[in-house]
């Protein structure tokens, strides 16, 4: 491909995204007027704006060179970096590590499922085995004992790799090493369908994956009747010194043929996107929400929810249930290792939410979603 034709394709792709953005803004304005006129009436359960038509699987696309314009907060500047260097490594002290033996780890067999079952099993961190619509989907699979830049896992992987059924699809939230793990992905057949953020397909193609679908925010694809919607998150991307925000970041809404929905947040701070996701995907049955890696707040608040914010986000989403994740696996920040669990339980109770709807699973445990 010549440089001129590549530039032309980039311009055409940018124009297409701008037209879609204009349509979205127009739809939001129209919908806001409708909501204002319907004040006092129950909110509609229809998606607003209507969901996008699924895009072709494995579509080759051209993206902008950077996604810096999607940031909802500026990345740390020189002042913040200097403070970070001055205060040293962000890790809990001896007291914060004292509860390591108490971290919940209860590996068990994966539940028996059929095509109508929706079930989740927590392998640790942001790695889930999601059974939905007859598919087995892995989220941000990290089965490695150690990742670059962090100490080894503080709890083992909760699900043995050899115990997994055939993996029908993988969803990736973003390219940070604790979410995109090359050694784990090398274990998969190269024809495994992968759903990835915009700009990340090249990483998979270099590793010879052949069925990679990359999506922008608010776009979707379908696989065997299950819908995969890529939705915004308050985060960023970086994997090397030269690729900051060169690929997108986000979460996923998985919708079964019967309409049941599981939201996988990936990595995210708290902000306005949760309410918008809930408007477009009403009736989320289960939210897989990060609750750890939040301290110190001056450094991490823009990109990682604390437990109280995670509960607020679930309320903004309108989700029925929450399963905490992104804690108790890798030591990425300064809070005591057991604190995310105790704080999320307290926040859930303070919000007056039913205790049975907080799925605070041990690493390795599973839950099956009841029929609506």
Helix (H) / strand (E) containing 165 = none
Rg (CA), the chain: 20
Band of pLDDT at residue 346, cut at 50, 70 and 90: very high
- Who wins on pLDDT, 76 or 313? 313
Please state, in angstroms and rounded to a whole number, the distance separating the CA atoms of residues 100 and 356. 26
Average pLDDT for 229-234: 98
- Who wins on pLDDT, 93 or 160? 160
CB-CB contact of 118 with 131 (8 Å): yes
Average pLDDT for 123-151: 96
- Who wins on pLDDT, 318 or 36? 318
Please state, in angstroms and rounded to a whole number, the distance separating the CA atoms of residues 20 and 14. 10
Helix (H) / strand (E) containing 213 = strand 212-215
The answer for 96, left when phi > 0, alpha when psi is -120 to 50, beta otherwise, is alpha
Task: Please check the confidence at residue 30 and state whether its pLDDT lies above 80.
Answer: no
CB-CB contact of 133 with 285 (8 Å): no
Question: Residues 266-281: pLDDT tens digits?
Answer: 999 999 999 999 999 9
pTM summary value: 0.88
The answer for 331, left when phi > 0, alpha when psi is -120 to 50, beta otherwise, is beta
Size (the chain), residues: 372
Average pLDDT for 113-141: 97
Range of lowest pLDDT (4-13, 235-244, 361-370):
4-13
The DSSP output letter for 135 is E
- Who wins on pLDDT, 38 or 254? 254
Joined together, the tokens standing for residue 33 give 């007027």
Average of per-residue pLDDT values in the chain: 90
pLDDT reported for residue 23: 46
Task: Please check the confidence at residue 91 and state whether its pLDDT lies above 70.
Answer: yes
Task: Please check the confidence at residue 182 and state whether its pLDDT lies above 80.
Answer: yes
CB-CB contact of 237 with 174 (8 Å): yes
Angle (CA) 337 341 342, round 5°: 100
- Who wins on pLDDT, 17 or 346? 346
CA distances from 95 to 77, 334, 338 (A): 31, 11, 11
Task: Please check the confidence at residue 358 and state whether its pLDDT lies above 50.
Answer: yes
Helix (H) / strand (E) containing 37 = helix 3-37
Average pLDDT for 305-333: 97
pLDDT above 90: percentage of residues in the chain: 80
- Who wins on pLDDT, 29 or 330? 330
Contacts with 253 (C-beta within 8 Å, 6 or more apart), sequence order: 227, 228, 229, 231, 261, 262, 263, 264, 277, 281, 284
CB-CB contact of 299 with 91 (8 Å): no
Dihedrals phi, psi of 85, to nearest 5 degrees = -65, -35
Question: Residues 47-86: pLDDT tens digits?
Answer: 888 999 999 999 999 999 999 999 999 998 888 888 887 8
Provide long-range contacts, Cβ within 8 A and 24+ apart, for 303-306.
303/73, 303/234, 303/235, 303/236, 303/267, 303/268, 303/269, 304/267, 304/268, 304/269, 304/333, 305/268, 305/269, 305/270, 306/343
Band of pLDDT at residue 89, cut at 50, 70 and 90: low
Please state, in angstroms and rounded to a whole number, the distance separating the CA atoms of residues 187 and 171. 15
The answer for 293, left when phi > 0, alpha when psi is -120 to 50, beta otherwise, is left
Average pLDDT for 283-295: 97
The residue with tokens 């919607």 is 229
pLDDT reported for residue 79: 86
CB-CB contact of 293 with 318 (8 Å): no
């Amino acid at each position: 491909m010549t440089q001129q034709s590549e530039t032309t394709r980039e311009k055409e792709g940018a124009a297409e995204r701008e037209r879609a953005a204009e349509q979205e803004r127009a739809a939001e304005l129209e919908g806001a007027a409708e909501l204002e006129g319907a004040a006092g009436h129950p909110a509609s359960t229809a998606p607003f704006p209507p969901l996008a038509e699924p895009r072709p699987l494995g579509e080759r696309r051209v993206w902008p060179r950077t996604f810096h314009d999607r940031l909802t907060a500026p990345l740390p500047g020189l002042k913040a970096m200097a403070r970070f260097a001055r205060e040293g490594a962000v890790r809990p002290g001896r007291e914060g590590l004292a509860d390591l033996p108490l971290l919940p780890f209860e590996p068990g067999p994966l539940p028996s499922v059929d095509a109508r079952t929706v079930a989740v099993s927590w392998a640790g961190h942001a790695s889930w085995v999601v059974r939905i619509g007859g598919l087995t989907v892995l989220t941000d699979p990290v089965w490695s004992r150690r990742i670059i830049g962090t100490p080894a896992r503080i709890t083992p992987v909760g699900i043995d790799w050899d115990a997994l059924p055939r993996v029908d699809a993988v969803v990736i939230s973003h390219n940070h090493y604790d979410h995109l793990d090359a050694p784990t992905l090398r274990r998969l057949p190269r024809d495994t369908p992968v759903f990835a953020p915009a700009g990340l397909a090249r990483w998979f193609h270099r590793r010879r994956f052949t069925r990679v679908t990359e999506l922008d925010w608010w776009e979707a694809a379908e696989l065997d009747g299950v819908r995969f919607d890529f939705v915004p998150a308050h985060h960023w991307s970086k994997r090397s010194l030269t690729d900051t925000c060169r690929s997108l970041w986000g979460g996923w809404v998985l919708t079964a043929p019967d309409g049941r929905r599981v939201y996988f947040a990936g990595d995210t701070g708290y902000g306005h996107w949760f309410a918008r996701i809930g408007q477009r995907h009403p009736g989320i049955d289960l939210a897989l929400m990060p609750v750890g890696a939040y301290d110190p707040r001056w450094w991490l608040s823009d990109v990682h929810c604390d437990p109280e914010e995670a509960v607020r986000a679930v309320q903004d989403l309108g989700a029925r249930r929450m399963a905490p994740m992104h804690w108790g696996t890798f030591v990425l920040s300064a809070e005591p290792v057991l604190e995310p669990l105790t704080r999320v339980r307290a926040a859930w109770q303070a919000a007056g939410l039913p205790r049975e709807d907080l799925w605070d699973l041990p690493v390795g445990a599973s839950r099956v979603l009841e029929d609506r």
